[in-house]
A and B are shown apart, each in its own frame.
Chain A
């Protein structure tokens, strides 16, 4: 299956028509290993457009989870659509969000180490595995303040989050090919949004997890990457916090708690806080 990260036949999900359009093959032509190989090689050579740079232009970060550059390039393009650069401030790529997600996927959270992962698993083929799609739980509750949908409500997949990411990103590329005849990273911003929306609405079949759950996970981690403490690789130079005028970890807000006017404090991160 195209949605299995362990599977070699990447392009099974792609329609014959688009496949031929992309490879320039004529009907009846032979699809040989060489050609397919060539296609894959091309992809590998596609330079990921994402680099995390300092002001001096030096690359500062490296992948520790994603082995395949192309997966990371799709991730980067997708997160930038979710959290774009605009006149308020930097977008996902500049904030280091793709690297944040990359690191998170190799933590205990990425491999669901502290979660119940014993079977049997109820397999939902089409969408979400969520019994209650009607309600966005995250809009209320003392501990559920995040206003983006839960990652995977009613998580019932055998797959870990890191497996879900690889599967989901590759399927995004398949859908891009099917719908627009191009790799996801080559699409226009609007076209990328169309693909993302298909996932968001659960219109893509993503076996074992559901495209909607993958989308929500992508969305949640993107937001986390923008605003988590910079020690995790996102929120570069506290730029996420600066946009929100959020001060970061402090010993005390005693001096601000009763004040009527908004008090803007220069943000501090755990690097300052633990180091003091």
Chain B
């Protein structure tokens, strides 16, 4: 028996940055909003006194409970996909606030090149630069149009930063000054400057000072406590939905967050959604929540899965290269964040101290900031030196050649605990016809619904960009004066480990309904009252962290939903751009 609930204006699935921004904006505008969250309630009180590396970093306390549901993964179309079974291999958000609570806070705007990658690549290098089978495309919106949403999100989140000297235009400064410059970051900046590059401080969701955002939410200054990434902040100093957008929505009186509500289907009739079907995870009871607008903001995996399970939009078929749902699956996998590790014999750093997004970065090898004529890949990535604050279990870095255990390992791992630094390349990931999301034919969740299946394999583009980045990181690490420099290896193939939460695509935005699922308001071409918000909209991945772009897109979508609630209809006219599959 399904209990039918009272209709609301907007139902939002997921309560991370994507769902939180939508909830805040629409409830402020006077609409009745209900957000459904599969996990439990959580507040800042849950983190006080629990700085515990084993529990959070090694046992993944805040990640999705996979016992009822996960995804399956394979490299090739003709392989049998196997489930991603452990939380080490699948770090997805789960409770109120989602992955947006245990994120690190590194905040980047994506560049004008990223938004018009196909046109701009062809313009500068000719069509032949894009290999056959690479399905990158323009977003159907430009950076200049996105700028005001970026600005909006940065102010809501209270981002602490300084502008990228090579970055795109900004209408205003970051709302807070950059975080403190620790000695390793100083070293990185001096070395990169000497090499002729343009270092700056990573913009951070960890607040450099106390701050009240435009919605009136107060946040505290970061304590550099280092229990940050994969943790919730007990000081209310890391910007997340629990200290910003969710309380803002709550204050309006128009908003309800319902936890323990696992959404199974979008209910759909005659080209429109009528609401969603969900299960109470504690009692097993089923509910129908009717709404005028359905917003999917449940991260890339669930956004894709719910559309496929509900039969909304045409599923992508790699054999014919037609269809849109699941197309252009992309993200940052184990071939990203590769670089060089440096070991210093004479220097010891206070490396136990740090914060999620504390770091230095250069954009000299990001996007199209450098000439690609003579390199065998397109796009690029940031080069970062981060100081997360290393836990005792995590820091066992040893120079290559050291055995992995035993007396010598013990000696070296202890010796180098405070004497090693890492520089890495956060390379971009391009989309290909053979990387996509679909439903798994074999494995099911607790409700008997098929799991989502990811198919992803690497190409020369991925390996070449990684190799290039590792070389640059080595050069920087040597300039930093490390006595031993070890390079990461480039993996041959994707290893099915989904950590870091940078997974995207499948419900991508664009101008042409033949090659995109949502328009530039994140409204579905095939269902005008469904908005699909989050990294699922990225047609390909830029060479920087995703969340600021997720936040900016959420503001764009909120504007669209409001327009739709007032006027109805498709907000953007369909356009044939010519297919390039």
Please give the residue numbers on chain A whose beta carbons come within 8 Å of chain B beta carbons, in ascending order. 81-84, 86, 88, 109, 112-118, 120, 122, 130-132, 134-137, 139-156, 193, 196, 200, 219, 222-224, 227-229, 232, 240-241, 243-254, 256-260, 262-263, 270, 273-274
Contact = CB atoms under 8 A, between A and B. Distances in A.
B461 interface: no
Contact of B492 (A113, A134, A147, A232): A134
B397 interface: yes
Given A140-B338, A250-B225, A253-B224, A109 B91 contact: no
Contacts of B51: 249-250, 270, 273
Contacts of B499: 141-144
Nearest to B339: A140
A116 B84 contact: yes
Interface string B393-427: 11111100000111100110110011000101000
A222 B397 CA distance: 16
Contact of A253 (B84, B226, B418): B226
Contacts of B491: 132, 134-135, 137
Interface stretch (B180-188, B191-199, B248-256, B271-279): B180-188
Contacts of B152: none
28 contacts: A81-B405, A88-B411, A88-B414, A112-B85, A117-B85, A131-B75, A134-B491, A136-B489, A140-B337, A140-B339, A140-B488, A142-B229, A142-B337, A142-B499, A143-B91, A149-B404, A153-B495, A196-B405, A227-B391, A232-B54, A249-B227, A251-B225, A253-B225, A256-B350, A256-B353, A257-B350, A258-B181, A259-B350
B393 A146 contact: yes
Interface stretch (B63-71, B130-138, B503-511): B63-71
Contacts of B406: 81-82, 84, 193
Nearest to A150: B88
A148 B334 contact: no
Contact of B386 (A116, A142, A152): A142
A160 B464 CA distance: 39
Nearest to A235: B392
A257 B353 contact: yes
B83 interface: yes
B544 interface: no
Contact of B417 (A152, A223, A246, A254): A246
Contacts of B70: 116
A155 B85 CA distance: 6
B392 A147 contact: no
Contacts of B88: 150-151
Contact size range, B:
35 or more
Given A249-B227, A251-B225, A252-B223, A145 B418 contact: no
**Residue of B49, B66, B392 contacting most chain A CB atoms (<10 Å):** B392
Contact of A154 (B89, B393, B443): B89
A142 B91 CA distance: 12
A248 B91 CA distance: 25
Nearest to A222: B405
B389 interface: yes
Nearest to A107: B59
B349 interface: yes
A120 B53 CA distance: 33
B417 A118 contact: no
Nearest to A232: B54
A167 to B, nearest CB: 18
B268 interface: no
Contacts of B390: 145
A200 B69 CA distance: 31
B496 interface: yes
A153 B497 contact: yes
Contact of A270 (B52, B80, B350): B52
Contacts of B404: 148-149, 200, 219
Contact of B488 (A115, A132, A139, A254): A139
A224 B58 contact: yes
B82 interface: yes
A137 B335 CA distance: 9
The 8 closest A-B pairs by CB, nearest first: A253-B353, A249-B51, A252-B223, A262-B348, A227-B392, A228-B54, A145-B394, A135-B491
Contacts of A153: 89, 495, 497
Interface string B501-543: 0000000000000000000000000000000000000000000
B468 interface: no
Given A115-B86, A232-B54, A260 B183 contact: yes
Contacts of A232: 54
Given A142-B386, A243-B414, A114 B394 contact: no
B87 interface: yes
B414 A115 contact: no
B392 A273 contact: no
Interface string B331-350: 00010011101000000111
B442 interface: yes
Given A141-B499, A262-B418, 5 more contacts: A131-B496, A140-B334, A154-B496, A156-B83, A274-B49
Contacts of B417: 244-246
